[in-house]
A and B are shown apart, each in its own frame.
Chain A
């Protein structure tokens, strides 16, 4: 059972435009959500996070939105740049959700391709 779902395996966006990556979750025990970025042959690197007590968090070009009632979050990147081309993983954690004290449950990832 996939508790964190990223339904778009890939997304192609023109440079300078907005990239929107989506994520849905099913476990209501999740209370902290993160986005990680991964380049080939490297480990995931942290991008941005949001607590369940908020509905928006912004960091430079990156904004994460959380809709708890819909169990949905999204990552907005604006403007998109060529260096943003990577696989983006949505991840979630919660006190009783398993995977260790701060452990994460990941989605399958979305491959973002920024076209010049």
Chain B
């Protein structure tokens, strides 16, 4: 069990650029989640996959955000035309049915 892995750990970008983050869940987990955490707040739900199907999206996920999990294994989260308000820690978590979520260490995004 290698845990949930996220890359990169840190990303600094200029406003207007596109960024992509990767998450590798625990191998036997079929459920994968993306959360966003800003300073002074708890993690906020963004989107959820069961295998390769994206089953739920938060209203926080604007049109500039897209997430994929093409083969039901790793997932990517892309943000297009980044804005300063996108600066946050992006957390990935995975689980098996009815079990607790295991989180990765997150990707800290800074938009300048």
- Residue numbers of A with Cβ under 8 A of B are 4, 6, 9, 34, 36, 41-46, 49, 89, 91, 98-109
Q: A41-B105, A44-B91 given as contacts; is B48 within 8 A of A99 (CB)? A: yes
In the bound complex, residues from chain B placing their C-beta under 8 Å from that of A9 are: 40
When chains A and B are docked, how far (Å) is the Cα of A17 from the Cα of B43?
29
Task: Please tell me if B25 contacts chain A, counting CB pairs below 8 Å.
Answer: no
Shortest Cβ distance from residue A53 to the other chain B in the assembled complex, whole angstroms? 14
Q: Report A-chain residues with C-beta under 8 Å of the C-beta of B40.
A: 9, 108
- Whether B103 lies near A43 (C-beta < 8 A) is yes
Q: Total contacts A to B, CB within 8 angstroms?
A: 72
Task: Tell me the smallest distance from the CB of A45 to a CB of chain B, in Å.
Answer: 7
Q: How far is the CA of A34 from the CA of B97 in the complex (A)?
A: 16
A2 vs chain B, min Cβ distance (A): 9
Residues of A within 8 A of B103 (CB): 36, 43-45
Contact residues of B between 13 and 44, Cβ < 8 Å to A: 31, 33, 40-44
Which residue of chain A lies nearest to B32 when distances are taken between CB atoms in the complex?
A: A100
Is B65's beta carbon under 8 Å from chain A?
A: no
* Known A46-B102, A102-B95, A102-B98; contact A41-B108, beta-carbon cutoff 8 A: yes
- A109, B105: Cβ atoms closer than 8 Å: no
B: contact size bracket: 20 to 34
Residues of B within 8 A of A104 (CB): 43, 45, 101
The answer on a CB contact under 8 Å between B42 and A42 is: no
Contacts of A89 in B (CB 8 A): 42-43
- Contact call A42/B48, Cβ cutoff below 8 A: no
Q: Complex formed: what's the CA distance from A77 to B73 in Å?
A: 37
B4: interface (CB < 8 Å): yes
Known: A46-B101, A100-B55, A109-B42; 4 extra A-B contacts, CB below 8 A, are: A43-B106, A46-B102, A49-B100, A100-B31
**Nearest chain B residue, comparing its CB with the CB of A104:** B101
- B residues less than 8 Å from A102 (CB atoms): 31, 95, 97-101
Answer whether residue B50 sits at the interface, using C-beta atoms and an 8 A cutoff: yes
Q: Interface 1/0s, chain B 77-91, versus A by CB < 8 A?
A: 000000000000001
